[in-house]
Amino acid sequence: MDLSQKTPENIEYMIESIKSKLRMASGAAMNASAFSVDRYEDIQDVYDLVMSKDNLSISEVEALVSELGRLRKS
């Protein structure tokens, strides 16, 4: 997947990948449509971080979920 393009489809791919990796029980609450293409670089930074880790601590997951919440459209 070419994530260099700022598209809603790429945001959806990254958000779904993050939810899967974090095993988010409340993943349904984190819909890709809740994120703006304007925040693409920030979302990609979170995606890159999550995908680079084999394991995440509970505090890391909480921090990442908090960051994703901050990046949502208001």
Tens-place pLDDT, residues 11-68: 999 998 988 888 765 565 678 888 999 999 999 999 999 999 998 898 998 899 899 9
Amino acid at 18: I
Q: Is the pLDDT score of 74 beyond 80? A: no
| The two structure tokens encoding residue 30 | 């984190």
**Number of folded domains that form the chain:** 1
Half-sphere exposure of 44 (CA within 13 A, CB side): 15
What confidence score (pLDDT) does residue 12 get? Answer: 93
Q: For residue 56, tell me if it sits in a domain.
A: yes
Residue 61 lies in a domain: yes
23 falls within a domain: yes
The range of the structural domain enclosing residue 18 comes to: 8-71
Residue type, 10: N
Q: Which residues pair with 72 in a beta bridge?
A: 35
What's the confidence (pLDDT) of residue 28?
A: 57
| CB 25 within 8 Å of CB 19 | no
Residues 6+ apart with CB under 8 A from 62: none
* Domain contains 2: no
| This prediction's pTM | 0.80
Structural domain includes residue 3:
no
Please give the pLDDT value at position 19.
87
